[in-house]
Each structure stands twice: as C-alpha cells, then as structure tokens.
Amino acid sequence: MPETITPAVPPTPPVTLSALLAREDLGLRQIAGPTDPGIVIHWAHTSEMADPYPYLLGGELLLTAGVHIPEGPDVSAYFDDYVSRIVAAGGAALGFGLAPVHDTVPPALVAACESRRLPLLEVPPQTTFSGVARAVWQLMAQARLAELRRVTEAQQSLAAAAARQDPVPSVLRQLAQRLGGRAVLYGPDGTEVAGAGREPAASPGASREPAVGAGAGREPVEGAGAALAALAGVVRPAARTTTPPDPTDRRPHAPGTPPAPGTRPQPAATPPGTRLTPITSSARPQAAAAPSARPQPAATPSATPGAPPPRPQPSSATDAFGATHLAVYALGAGEGFVLGVATPRREPGDHTIASVAAVLLTLLTGEHQSGAGAARSSALVRLLLGAPPGEVAPLLGAGRWLVVHARPEAQAPDPVAASALGAALGSPLVDLGGDVVRVLMPADREPAPQPGWTLGVSAPAEPHEWPAADTQAARALARARATRAPLLRHAARPALADLVPPADAETHARSLLAPLSGQPALAETLRSWLSLHGSWDRTAVALGVHRNTVRQRIARCAGLLGADLDDPDVRMELWFALRRG
C-alpha cells in the first residue's frame, strides 16, 4: 500500500465536517469514524471507481452510490482495501448514497471505515450528490467572507494603532488581541524589545529536552516563549559582527546573547519533533518540510572556499511547540528586528494579519533605528534652526547632488507613489508638492527613466547651488513633457556664453530684457517658446496653458522688445540673455 499523501489543498478556507452535518436541508448522518470537530474537507468529489486513489488530491469528501461494489456473500476484504486506498490518498471523509443501488450502507463498509478511522456519512435518498457539493462550496464562500472581514477589521485596527503615541506597543497589543496569543518584537541582538498578550499554555506533552543536533552543552528550550525566541534566530541575519568567525569554535551561547568575539553564530535550539517551514501566502498551515529542507541561517561571508553557495535567508518561518503554533517574520528594514507570534491555534487569515503588522513595524523601527534616518532628522532640524545648506549637507552624504523633478503620466502623485519613486531612484529625500515630486539624490547615482513618470534632472550641484539646480530640474521636466521624453537632463557642457565674463553678460541681459521686467509670465513663456524652437503646441504643454495664450504672450513680448522674433539672430541673442537673466 502506498504511503499516505499530503493533501494538495486549494487556497480556499476549509469546511469543518461538523458544519456540513449541521445542514438540515441535506440530512446527512455520520455512522462511522472519528467525530473530531477539527476534521475539515476542502472539496466534494463523486466517483464510482473501485480504486479512486489515482484521482484524488487529498482533503475530499468522496461521494459514492456503491455501483462499484462486487456481488458476493463476503466483501469485507474489498471494502478494507477500498477504504485503505481512500485514506492513503488523503481523503477526508466518505459519503455513501442510499439510492438508487443500495437501501442501506453495507455493514462491512461501516466496519472498514471504523477500523481505518475514516468518517463515513449516510446520504439519504432525497439528497443529491450535486446538492452536497453545492453546500460545501456555499460553506467555503461563507468562510472566505468571514476571513476577509476579519482581515479587513484587523488591518484597520493595526493601522490605527500605528498612529498612536506609542505605536510599537500598540501594534503588538492589537496583533496579540486579534490572534488570541502573544506578539513579541525582538531586537537585532535577540532580546525582547516589546511584547503583548499572554503566552499560550504549554502542552503537557511538550518536550523540554535539547534539540536534536544542538551543540554539546546547549541549554534546553523552556516554554513556548523560549522556543519562539529560538525560532527568531532562523530569520535574523546571521553575520552582524565585524570579527571573522572561527569555524573551529563550537561553544554555545544562550538565545538572544551575542556570541563571544570570534565565534560563529549558532542556529537557535528547537525542541525535537518541531518543524521549521517557510510561511507561504496561504492562510492555512502547510505540510512540514523534510529535515533536509529546513531553513538555516545564512552563511557568513567567510564561508570555506569551494563550499556550496549559501541558502537564501528566509524572511519568515513557522514551528510548533506542543499545541502552540509559532511564527516569526524578519522585518524588512534589514536591521535585524524580528516579529514573533505564538498562538494556541492556526486560523485562516492569521498569516495575512501578522504580515500587515510586520510591514507596519518595519516602517516604525527601520527608519528611526538606522544611522541614515537619524542623520536626516538632524539635518532637517538644523535647516529649520537656520543652518546654511553647506553645513548640513555632510550629514546627508559627501559629494555633489542632483535635483530630480518628476510628474506621473496618469493621475496626480500621492505620498505612496512619491516614496516608491524615491526608492526606485535610491534616495529617501523626497518632497511631494502639488503634481510634481522632487527628489534630492547624490550625483554619483545615475537616475534612470521610471515607467509611468516623466523626469527632469539638474546638473550636479554643490549644496549652495541647490536652488539653482532646482530651477534647472524644473525646466528640464517642462522640456521632457513637451517633447514626450521619459527623462531629460540639464545641459552641463560648456557653452559659447561661458566665454563672456559673467558680469558683462548679466549687464547685457538686464538691459535687453528690461521691457519684460516685472512680468515673469512673459519672460518664462518666451524662454520656453525659444527652447522648444517656436512650437506653439509644445510650449502650451510645457506651461500648462492654451496655445492661444502662448501666441498672445509671444506677440506681447515682440511688441515690448521691438524685435522680430522670426529672425534667428534675434532669437539667439534673446536666448543668451534669458539664460543669464
């Protein structure tokens, strides 16, 4: 007989067998097998095959009318083999229809199901198999709706908790309350930073012995809390010290305590028989991984040459301590913080709720705990208190900077889209103002076109040149939108105008453009019109006005300046003045 297979369950919530039996319209009656309220089914399937094993995925309520039953005085051996094959395929229960072949359920089938501990249901003549299948899907839909409602309510409460004065403890309290267990935030060194909720009671059969494979002398894990702390070490980055580890040193250290200098961080101990499995997107517990597939801490950079490549560091993992379900989540800021959850049971939607809490805690811990975040806060405070940009810039980084102006091609940007753009460009210095997003980024990072955005990039600038660079980026963005280019840069190469002394050039520009003084709209329209080679439509797009408005303004400029704007020499001289003015 083949080994019992693991049910390939669908991503829909399971239905308890007791809920199906409670449907009065079906009239189902259990006549054999266990009556555990935790028995669940994932679908209903009808088959009259004598051997349904090849056609089952596991978790089914198999429905049959007994057409396949052979004739004969003693069919006990047939039923024993039939039921054993259903159990081996992972079938959850068997439903036997009393019509139209059999008037009663064969006693030998009842005995076989009782022996193999397979729930056996009697389906009355008035109940069709399609009606049973429909009831199963109706119960699944109800369970799914309840799960979605529970997850939505939890998301709202967690978001509200994150906005309170003490956001981290508030999020942990809400998470523990929603999951009915305990939620803990572990720091980079493994110590408990904050926690909420009550630790689930240990099962009487929970082991207190050292984990199999743990180093000699390792302390046994005591209680679900200690097991959760040990599991957190699986997803925490292993290499957080600057001292190269000694591969020959196997001295153990207690969970949550940094290893002695020069020692290799050891995987945390876990009770024997527990399973470490990556958490999947399903809200339902998954099958345990084989021991060889058990997640391990990532190898340190000083791995032995020629050794196999290190396994990817898992971002989440599950385990069990007796009847207590354990789950840990590495927070995405990369600072070594880990969220741990211990619950007395695993409910649909638990993983989604815990993942939402992990995202919120990542935002609450990552930025404020990092040196870069502290430096940015310090820079902001100094600017507000009057410090010049040149003194503040070293806190943000050395070197020159670029200013990027960006506008989305579709709707107006929101804070989430602005943050995503900053992350794509590699800079957290983002400002959202109206329909334009401004990003300040180091000049050594090359900005690339971003899908769905139009970008204008300034020339590299020192901190005291940031205002001028901001103007350059704005003009580059206007030209990019007018020419439908995804990204345009401000021209940084030397120009003919650089050959004229700056003081003389500025004096000439003021004199030539004097008739336009006090009318910035006219000067900006003339600048854009000349930069776009006299195109009325593209200038209108760049300025966000009607093309007739552009025509009227250019005509007004020509009249005030007393110049023929169709003359290339006049255009060149005006462009020179506008660049200097």
List average pLDDT for each run of 10 residues in the chain, which is 581 residues long.
Answer: 50 84 93 90 92 90 93 86 94 92 92 95 94 92 87 88 81 90 87 83 46 32 78 74 41 38 39 41 35 38 52 79 88 78 85 88 65 71 81 79 90 76 82 88 87 90 87 89 87 58 78 87 90 89 90 91 87 83 60
The SS3 assignment for 514 reads helix
What distance in Å separates the CA atoms of residue 489 and residue 472, rounded to the nearest whole number? 9
**pLDDT at residue 500, rounded to an integer:** 66
516-535 pLDDT, tens digit per residue, is 888 889 989 998 998 888 88
**pLDDT at residue 305, rounded to an integer:** 53
**pLDDT at residue 372, rounded to an integer:** 62
**pLDDT at residue 109, rounded to an integer:** 94
What distance in Å separates the CA atoms of residue 329 and residue 479, rounded to the nearest whole number? 46
Contact, 228 vs 181, CB < 8 A?
no
N-terminal to C-terminal alpha carbon distance within the chain = 91
- List the structure tokens of 10: 């669908």
Q: Is the dihedral of CA 45, 50, 56, 61 positive or negative?
A: positive
Contact, 270 vs 221, CB < 8 A?
yes
**pLDDT at residue 8, rounded to an integer:** 55
